[in-house]
Amino acid sequence: MKQRSIQEVRQAHPSRDGDGVAIQRIAGMQHAGMDPILMIDELRSEHREDFAGGFPPHPHRGMQTLTYMKSGGIQHRDNQGNQGEIRGGGVQWMSAGRGVIHSEMPTQDSDGLHGFQLWINLPRALKMSPPAYRDIPQRALAHAVDDTLSLTAIAGNWQVQDIALEGPLQELAGLAAIADLQIQPGATVAVATPPGESVLGYIYEGAVVHEESTLGAQLLLITGRGGDSWAIRAGEHGASLLLLRGEPLAEPVAHYGPFVMNTSAEIEQALQDYQSGQFA
């Protein structure tokens, strides 16, 4: 069995988006090692002023979003008539396709918020597909625990040690798969990794030990392709990671604000379509 290793470590950077929401962001629009994942945002604060403004109505085209809330609540509304609310452990998925206008606002009783939003690229053939939306409560996710780990499968199929889980969300572009993994202090676990896929791990609590170095929270671990297993060793206080996999699209990426297309001409067309009211 060929083992993967960490090829690159990227630090999340503080930023603000929406109506002043404080986030930690890793952008990978042009990063081949992250393909088809475009961006990872972590939202985490106990202070309502950091997120109260939420994300008022705004457009998207050419990509998908997945929002996973560890704690607190988010309400989604869009111009396709979809609306939903997720709370601790719940997931919202949206495929923008040819164009959607949506909002994501914190629930009024959210005194603290911790969650993630991922942007996933759509392949060229699906960028102008009809928009779609789905929300999944925590109870519908696949979950398993053993002596060394706790695993929640959100999207795709996962095998970690002897645990095999299938997440309820199978609609992600690039066959992308997402899981939430907690590892007990000092333990090492093996994650099965299809050789051709991009495989990433975002540390959100604790630390991972790599070649005697300790890698802490808000770091993205990018593995090299080709191996069919990735051994992750937790630090002395354990490790919590968001695991991400996907088949690289290997297509050009043109990005402007909320639009992700393949060419600058397509970005210009998206702007014109939005400004002329065609998204509505």
Phi, psi for 123 (deg, rounded to 5): -65, 160
Whether domain 6-273 has CATH 2.60.120.10: the reply is yes
pLDDT tens digits, the chain, 280 residues: what are they? 799 999 999 999 999 999 999 999 999 999 999 999 999 999 998 888 888 899 999 999 999 999 999 999 999 999 999 999 999 899 999 999 999 999 999 987 777 899 999 999 999 999 999 999 999 999 999 999 999 999 999 999 999 999 999 999 998 987 899 999 999 999 999 999 999 999 999 999 999 999 989 999 999 999 999 899 999 999 999 999 999 999 999 999 999 999 999 999 999 999 999 999 998 7
Instruction: List the domain boundaries for the chain.
Output: 6-273
- Find residue 40's DSSP bridge partners: 26, 118
DSSP letters spanning the chain: -PBP-EEEEEE-EEEEETTTEEEEEEE-TT-TTTTTEEEEEEEEES-GGGTTT-EEEEEEBSEEEEEEEEES-EEEEETTS-EEEE-TT-EEEEE-TT-EEEEEEE-TT-SSEEEEEEEEEPPGGGTTSPPEEEEE-GGGSEEEE-SSEEEEEEESEEEETTEEEE-SB---GGG-EEEEEEE-TT-EEEEE--TTSEEEEEEEEEEEEETTEEE-TTEEEEEPTT-SEEEEEEEEEEEEEEEEEE-------EEETTEEESSHHHHHHHHHHHHTTTT-
Characterize the bridge pairing of strands 74-78 and 100-106: antiparallel
Cβ contact 76:134 at 8 Å: no
